[in-house]
Amino acid sequence: MKLRKCSLFFSCKTSLILVLLNYGDNMNYKKVFKRETKVIAYVVIALTLVVIGTSYALFLQVNNNRDNQVVTAGSLIIEYDKGNTIIVDENDENNCLIPQGDETGSGTGGCKFTLSVTNTGTLPMQYNLLIYDNVEEAPSDAIFVDHSLVRHSLNKQISKEGTNTETVTDAKSLSELTLNEGKRTLESNIIEVGETITFSLNIWISEDATIDIIGQYVYLKLDVVGSVFEGSSAAKLLTSDQSNSSLEEIELPSTYNTEEMKKEYRYTGENPNNYVYFNCSDDSSLETCEVWRILGIYNEEQLKLIRDYTNLENVYSEEDMLFDKSSINKYLNGEFYHSLSQTSKSQISPHVFKTIGTSSLEVTSMEIYDEEIAQENGILINVGLMNASDYAFANSINNETLLSNLSSLNATNWLYSFKDEWLINQINSNVYSVSNDGNIVLSSPLDKKLIRPVVYLNPNVSIVKGDGTEANPYVLSK
């Protein structure tokens, strides 16, 4: 969209500044914009759609069309509501690009654009909804309004077989979106066969904008980039999602042989979008599923999941023995594992859980991670517990906080839960656990603490829908 400059830009700017002087320093900029409606000439939202399939490539561009329009691109049908152009001129009563607050901009105000996408094919499609400055078609001397002042909200409705779900993103500036090769990601997800996704995008100028933006341009283009989704691994999908800012990569030191070690990622922060449906008693109904969470991506290809606490509160071990002989291991890989659904069992990959003995608490998350990597002790099992580094990394990767002082980061650790719980250990006189205050401590293996089961998934498990939020967890392929 574009704010047309005044024919005499400097004169317009000067007159507006004089108005501000007349009304005082606290003059509301919105009133200025409303009085000077001739400054806003027209707004154009042009949409370019790119669909890339495994066996075809199709580029579509439609400009300045004000009629309803339907375009077929492979198995996707894209429909523009009232065309892909929105015009705002001097006679516009809505003043959609006048600086305004988030409540107004995301509600009745703001410039509105609607796009629906339907998957009519036989395979799920992966898509990215992108937004960026339309540099190619804007005047060569155009100065774009800073993205920190361009606010937006996105409403998303998914319809399939008579069912409807709706999610709405909070208002935010474009500058808060992940930027990749000049484009920002509004939405990245999967559209299943038979689904229709309707996006309603509101764009407005922040009420914090100053008079200096008069004459600058808000000229944006939307891209929908899609590809046939043919079982891409969940790990690959999550790491390629540029909007997934809470998934941090562990930067390994140069002392490691980085050619042999694969990349690893962890979810960090207060409440990342890492919710996933798992262990469904009826695969045809998500209502029968448990909601687990993704700890991160391990060995570059495997998701590691953690469940909420079981009802078990027990001693770690009644003797001085390794984890494979402990009462917790007997429960997790006996009664608990056998209670899982057949689908979940087929998705779990037996894994060597590293176990470490007593170590200092005066180490950082990266230092304890180094110890775990170097540790030769381990046990091949289906279900285990999280490592000390799993818990410590949930705050942030590469932080310098000691294990004994992690409680200072409770507010940004999504794994903190006010409970005493066990971590996986090699049994010694004292072993690692998480205390109810959020620190990692050394405890006697005879103490009673809660446990949270942890599993690794097969590398070929894929995500077929969902966005990882608590309201819309990821759905795994069966």
Element (H, E) at 450: strand 448-450
The pLDDT tens digits for 360-398 are 889 999 888 888 888 877 889 999 999 999 999 999 887
Q: Residue 256: count other Cβ atoms within 10 Å of its Cβ.
A: 11
Average pLDDT over residues 98-107: 90
- Separation CA 459–CA 466 (nearest Å): 19
Secondary structure letter of residue 75 according to DSSP: T
187 Ramachandran zone, left/alpha/beta (phi>0; psi -120 to 50): beta
The pLDDT tens digits for 133-189 are 888 777 888 888 899 999 999 999 988 877 788 877 789 999 999 888 889 988 887
Q: Residue 206 — φ and ψ, nearest 5°?
A: -60, 145
pLDDT for residue 38:
29
Secondary structure letter of residue 335 according to DSSP: I
The answer to whether residue 79 scores a pLDDT higher than 50 is yes
Average pLDDT over residues 68-78: 69
pTM, whole model, 2 decimals? 0.58
The answer to whether residue 90 scores a pLDDT higher than 50 is no
The pLDDT tens digits for 401-441 are 999 999 999 999 999 989 899 898 876 677 889 999 999 99
Instruction: Indicate the pLDDT class of residue 326, thresholds 50, 70 and 90.
Output: confident
CA 329 to chain CA mean position, Å: 33
Report the mean per-residue pLDDT for the chain.
76
The pLDDT tens digits for 364-373 are 998 888 888 8
